Amino acid sequence: MPDLDPLERWGYRGGHTPSPELSAARLRMAQEALHKLETYLRRPNKKTDLYEVGAVDDVTPGLLPPADVARAERLYRQLYETGGNGSTYAQDSVLSLIAGSRYPASIPFWLESLDLSRPRDSFTARRRHWALAALAYLSINANHEAEIALAQSAQHANPDVRALAVYYWSRVYTDSGRKLPRATAKVFRSIAVKDTAFGPRFQARQLLRQRELAVPNDQPGGVYAFQVYFRRAKSVFSRTVELQAEQTLDDLHRAIQRALEWDSDHLYSFFLNNDERDDKLYRFSCPYEEDRPPWTHEAVLGELGLVRRHKFLYLFDYGDSHLFELDVVAIQEKALSKVQYPRVTDGKGEAPPQYPRYDE
């Protein structure tokens, strides 16, 4: 996610009406910034720092005239092709300028932005966040075409786009407080079960949980097998643990601790998208962190949408930061009779020490 969720920024801004004087000043600054960017793009110069162009995103919804929004879209396409020193900052500012204007005619531009990607383009993920958040922003404000675009994006060929689209589509209903239509709930339930990638399945299930609707258990009575690696020593240590579908991430934490023979006396979290920096969309905290839901003891394994070969992270002890990578290596339809789960079925190497060893 971006450092600050754009949907929250625009929602806050849209709830405050500035004075006519401030509105005029903001419009003037935005138009001046677009003029500077246009001048740069006519004759790009690698020595020019785009931070100095002065692009701004502080525009009240509906303030920027449609002609200037279309102009900003055109300039963004040129900026994407041209690049330059500080282009990430400039892209960020122009996209926020377009989205903050809340102009329905920008829907095709946002859909087009989802497919802008090339090698070594570090802005790809952030651009997709902006595009889908912008569609959600329009949808929250009762633009039906924007919600159709979100639904279309939830069927995108790229699973990362699908996952983000489902997340922002769910935000339309959570942020607006609108009732979830039965037909839309049916679509989310279908994504939760039929999508082949973890991200869209998980995000669809999150909405079902929030709406207190039934969340499917993919393998009732079944078993999930996880191969556990210590990230600092993947080649020398691993354990394979099995748990039943009805057990939880909290049970998985305890199984890993028993396999390590460590003292389970520290805080921990799971990051289900394999990214410990993502503190918002895919994190499950231990029950002791009362202010950081969702929690591991409520996360039933069969209801998470896990698929075979999916990888995620387990962080134990926030001080020493022991980071483990987990790989879903098998999903079995039925648990074995007379077998107690969780259980360790395979392993390699000695468990790493829990605490550093210092010579006396």
Model confidence over 33-73: pLDDT tens digits? 899 899 989 988 777 778 776 656 566 777 789 999 999 99
Sign of CA pseudo-dihedral 328, 330, 335, 339: negative
CATH for 6-210 is: 1.25.10
Using CA atoms, how far apart are residues 189 and 211, in angstroms rounded to an integer?
12
Return the residue matching tokens 């896990």. 306
Per-residue tokens: 244: 């039943």
Q: What is the DSSP letter of 350?
A: P
Contact call for residues 254 and 353 (beta carbons, < 8 A): no
Nearest to 256 by CA among 182, 208, 322, 187: 322
Considering the chain, what percentage of its residues have pLDDT values greater than 70?
Answer: 94
Return the residue matching tokens 């339809």. 333
The residues that bridge with 327 in the sheet, in sequence order, are 227, 311
Residue 314 has pLDDT above 70, yes or no: yes
pTM: 0.92
The mean pLDDT of 2-15, rounded to a whole number, is 69
Residue 340 has pLDDT above 90, yes or no: yes
Q: How many CB atoms neighbour CB 199 within 10 A?
A: 24
The mean pLDDT of 284-290, rounded to a whole number, is 91
Using CA atoms, how far apart are residues 234 and 300, in angstroms rounded to an integer?
27
3-state SS, residue 77: helix
3-state SS, residue 4: coil
Mean of the per-residue pLDDT values of the chain = 91
Per-residue tokens: 236: 């020398």
The mean pLDDT of 70-87, rounded to a whole number, is 91
Nearest to 134 by CA among 172, 183, 78: 172
Contact call for residues 344 and 240 (beta carbons, < 8 A): yes
Residue 1 has pLDDT above 60, yes or no: no
The alpha carbons of the chain give a radius of gyration, in whole angstroms, of: 24
| Residue extents of the structural domains in the chain | 6-210, 223-348
Q: In the chain, what's the furthest Cα-to-Cα distance?
A: 76
Q: Give every CB contact of residue 309 below 8 A, 6+ residues apart in sequence.
A: 327, 328, 329
Task: Note whether 6-210 and 223-348 share their fold.
Answer: no
Using CA atoms, how far apart are residues 25 and 59, in angstroms rounded to an integer?
10
Phi-psi region of 356 (alpha: psi -120 to 50; beta: other; left: phi over 0): beta
Contact call for residues 12 and 20 (beta carbons, < 8 A): no
Instruction: Please write down the long-range contacts of 35-38, taking CB distance under 8 Å and 24 or more positions apart.
Output: 37/75, 37/79, 37/90, 37/94, 38/71, 38/75
Q: How far is CA 136 from CA 40, 93, 142, 159, in A?
A: 32, 18, 10, 18
CATH class of 223-348: alpha beta
Residue 360, pLDDT score: 45
